[in-house]
Structure 1
Amino acid sequence: MNQYLVTAYDYTDEGALERRMSVRPHHLDAAKTLKENGNYVLGGAILNDKGEMAGSVMVLQFDTEEELAAWQQSEPYITQKIWETVDVKPFKVANVG
């Protein structure tokens, strides 16, 4: 499988954090489905100086670019305008020990 590093930053408008929190259960459900299908490696929130969620980092893996594109088209944080910028780069998890 091809692995990808996803780095995404949230919108910063007033209400952005509240919007994120309302969509978060859907995002986590989607991540659970990714994990069940073997596509989720790891993920978590990027925190701002106040300790509030302001973005995300995920390591995902897909067999094809089409599967990656399908994820991007269905990811709640993308479709619900939580992430303002999304950077996806090819990645390789190091297997140590």
Structure 2
Amino acid sequence: MNQYVIIARDGADEEAIHRRMEARPIHLAGAKNLKEHNQFIIGGAMLDDSGKMVGSVMIVQFENDEEMKNWYDNEPYITQNVWQSIEIKPFRVANV
């Protein structure tokens, strides 16, 4: 399995939190589906100093880059323009 860390920041505009909250149920359902298929390792929201969600960090795993791209192309936070700065890096969870 190839593992990836995703660091994604939401837009900074006034509508950003509205877009996030609207897409959130679909995003969480997708994360649950990934978890059921052993593709979601860990993830959650990044918070600003006031506790407002401003982005996300996820560690996911897929058999190959094609599966990763398929997930990426269908992720609601991407398709609904919630995440506006996305960094994806190969990752390896430590086996300790």
Q: TM-score range by the shorter chain?
A: over 0.9
| Post-superposition CA distance 1:63-92 (Å, at most 9, x none) | 110000001000000000000011110000
In structure 2, the partner of 1:55 is: 55
SS of 1:95's equivalent? coil
Percent of pairs identical after alignment? 53
1:82 is aligned to 82
**Deviations 1:24-72, CA, capped at 9 Å, x for gaps:** 0000000011111111000000001111000000000001100000010
1:11 paired residue number: 11
Q: Tell me the equivalent position of 1:34.
A: 34
Amino acid at match of 2:71: W
Runs of at least 5 residues in structure 2 that lack an aligned partner in the other structure: none
Count residues with an aligned counterpart: 96
**Consecutive aligned runs of 4 or more in structure 1 exceeding 2 Å deviation:** none
Q: 2:63 is aligned with what amino acid?
A: D
- Specify the code of the residue in structure 1 equivalent to 2:79: T
Structure 1: which 5+ runs fail to align? Answer: none
| Structure 1 vs Structure 2 CA RMSD | 0.6
CA distance in 2: counterparts of 1:81 and 1:54, whole angstroms: 13
Normalised by the length of structure 1, the TM-score is 0.96
Q: TM-score, normalised by structure 2?
A: 0.97
